[in-house]
Amino acid sequence: MSASLPIRRALISVSDKTGLLDFARFLADRGVDILSTGGSAKAMRDAGLTVTEVADHTGFPEMLDGRVKTLHPKIHGGLLGIRGNAVHEAAMAEHEIAPIDLLVVNLYPFEATVARGADFETCVENIDIGGPALIRGAAKNHDGVTVLVDVEDYAAVMAEMEAHNGATTLELRRRLAATAYARTGAYDAAISRWFAGQVGETFPRRVVVAGELRQGLRYGENPHQQAAFYAGGAARPGIATARQVQGKELSYNNLNDTDAAFELAAEFDRPAVAIIKHANPCGVSVGDDLVSAYRAALACDPVSAFGGIVAVNRRLDGATAAEIAHLFTEVVIAPDADDDAVAAFAAKKNLRLLLTGAMPDPAATGFTLRTVAGGQLFQTRDNGRIALSDLKVVTKRTPTEHELADLLFAFRVCKHVKSNAIVYAKDGATVGIGAGQMSRVDSSRIAAWKSREAAEAAGLSEPATVGSVVASDAFFPFADGLLAAAAAGATAVIQPGGSVRDAEVIAAADEAGLAMVFTGMRHFRH
């Protein structure tokens, strides 16, 4: 088979008609015979193009409400017959099967139908059968057939036909075949994932992960690693929905950290700011407005905040943006921004401003995925949330109302800190964070040490941990971590409980005059 394949006959059947008429005119101007069905045929015919209905080509009518129209030997034979193969060509001649050189198909909009909340029957009816069969057949026979499944590839085919006297090259056909199989694979993945949910299977026997390339990245976590960003799965406001208003290209680490920041900011109903560095928060606060929340978040660890990510859960205003602009910041992400905020960042050419259009729901269900050697670890999202009514007071002293508010705030932040995690908080703001240590007591000490450093840098007489509360993402296995928090000035503690030494830890809290509550819920984050 020659690497150059002239296109003389095309079959076009598309749900997404973007660019269809321009492409069809291009083919018609080069003498290509066009076969088509239903709405595609009508659209082209209404535009003055000559189109042969598939039913006229096969001599077999569409039937079963259009479910059967292209499932016919004259169609599949025209796609699958091997050009230059004497046996195939003889069979095609005997049965009057004309070769089809170009297939243009995009599938019934199943994913969009599910996304808009359609009922079960409507979703099932939008499962395409003939389309995937055509695509797979054409892609298999790519030596003799050009297959198009994405409107973005129309231009490439037209350019090749212009350059090669109406033909396409084998190199392009192979690339398009790979794209075609990826599309049918992603389509079937969406259907299987939806069907599993419909029958109540959280973890079905087989699971398929699919995504659409959103951005090629310069490199991964390190310059010697290749990377790309794919969007897929459930529609969730965040980096996959964001519009980049300004700034240079986002990196792998930017995307990872920005996602962590935005998910944390989404946890709170009040105006909230989260400042993230290396996927861990270095400052989080809620306030009456964003600008006061930002100042309090920054005060927790202004050194680490340099070159960090800032996420807010409200429309970004000019005053807050102006405050953020004082410090070198890699990315700012918000659901929206006013004109003053955009203007405040205009001089910061490297700062990326991302607007998502909405906030994600922290209580929504979903999955997280991590690869391991030879497989993947799936789990449901940590959408657990603790309310005041869930708390169990285990010490002689009951927390005050103010302490309770800070305890709930600190525990919510703790959910987004790498384990072992310790978070000190006061007045709705973090004042010390210890993350990712092998020992919980070390996290307590590091958080207190960082608070002392921040106090000295700010010229304060004492660290903000004095009079604070402290949260632990998991139980204290020994009293040492709790005593380290007491030594730092914490007055109340929130932790899951559940240790075999709970009684020992409670006794230590009582002796230190601490109030302590158990949540019964752990928030490990590895």
CATH of the domain at 144: 3.40.50.1380
Residues 423 and 299 in one domain: no
Distances (CA, A) of 400 to 365, 376, 423, 469, 506: 33, 45, 19, 11, 18
Q: From CA 170, how far away is CA 127, in angstroms rounded? A: 31
The predicted-structure confidence for 228-286, as pLDDT tens digits, reads as follows 999 886 778 999 999 999 999 999 999 999 999 999 999 999 999 999 999 999 999 99
The single residue of 278, 326, 402, 450 carrying the catalytic annotation is 278
Query: How many domains, in total, are found in the chain?
Result: 3
Torsion angles phi and psi, residue 378, rounded to 5 = -105, 145
Question: Reading across the β-sheet that carries 9-14, which strands appear in turn?
Answer: 52-53, 33-36, 9-14, 102-106, 146-148
Residues 193 and 62 in one domain: yes
Query: Which range, 32-41, 195-204, 246-255, is most confident?
Result: 246-255
427 belongs to a structural domain:
yes
Contact between 493 and 472 (Cβ < 8 Å): yes
4 belongs to a structural domain:
no
Q: What's at 21, amino acid-wise?
A: L
Per-residue pLDDT, averaged over 317-344, amounts to: 96
Q: From CA 461, how far away is CA 466, in angstroms rounded? A: 11
Residues 68 and 190 in one domain: yes
- The residue from 141, 175, 199 where one domain ends is 199
The predicted-structure confidence for 341-356, as pLDDT tens digits, reads as follows 999 999 899 999 999 9
Please confirm, yes or no, whether 74 is among the known catalytic residues. Answer: no
pLDDT the model gives residue 78 = 85
The predicted-structure confidence for 372-407, as pLDDT tens digits, reads as follows 898 888 888 899 999 999 999 999 999 999 999 999
156 belongs to a structural domain:
yes
Q: How confident is the model at residue 474 (pLDDT cuts 50, 70, 90)?
A: very high
pTM confidence score: 0.84
Q: From CA 275, how far away is CA 254, in angstroms rounded? A: 13
Residues 86 and 34 in one domain: yes
Residues 437 and 501 in one domain: yes
Residues 187 and 99 in one domain: yes
Residues 333 and 412 in one domain: no
Q: From CA 508, how far away is CA 477, in angstroms rounded? A: 12
CA geometry: angle 111, 238, 107, nearest 5 deg: 15
Range of the domain at 263: 241-355
DSSP 8-state symbol, 104: E
- The residue from 146, 176, 199 where one domain ends is 199
523 exposure class (CB count in 10 Å sphere: 0-12, 13-18, 19+): buried
Tokens 């195939």 belong to 88
- The residue from 177, 199, 221 where one domain ends is 199
pLDDT the model gives residue 355 = 97
Residues 178 and 313 in one domain: no
- Percentage of the chain lying above the pLDDT 90 cut: 66
Quote the mean pLDDT of the chain. 91
Residues 171 and 266 in one domain: no
Which residues make Cβ contacts (< 8 Å) with residue 80, sequence separation at least 6?
137, 140, 141
Residues 109 and 175 in one domain: yes
The single residue of 17, 140, 164, 348 carrying the catalytic annotation is 140
**pLDDT of residue 125 exceeding 90:** no
Q: How confident is the model at residue 63 (pLDDT cuts 50, 70, 90)?
A: low
The predicted-structure confidence for 409-448, as pLDDT tens digits, reads as follows 999 999 999 999 999 999 999 999 999 899 889 998 999 9
221 belongs to a structural domain:
no
Residues 340 and 438 in one domain: no
440 belongs to a structural domain:
yes
Please confirm, yes or no, whether 140 is among the known catalytic residues. Answer: yes
Which residues make Cβ contacts (< 8 Å) with residue 307, sequence separation at least 6?
277, 328, 329, 330
206 belongs to a structural domain:
no
Parallel, antiparallel or unpaired: strands 329-334 and 352-355:
parallel
Residues 410 and 351 in one domain: no
pLDDT the model gives residue 1 = 45
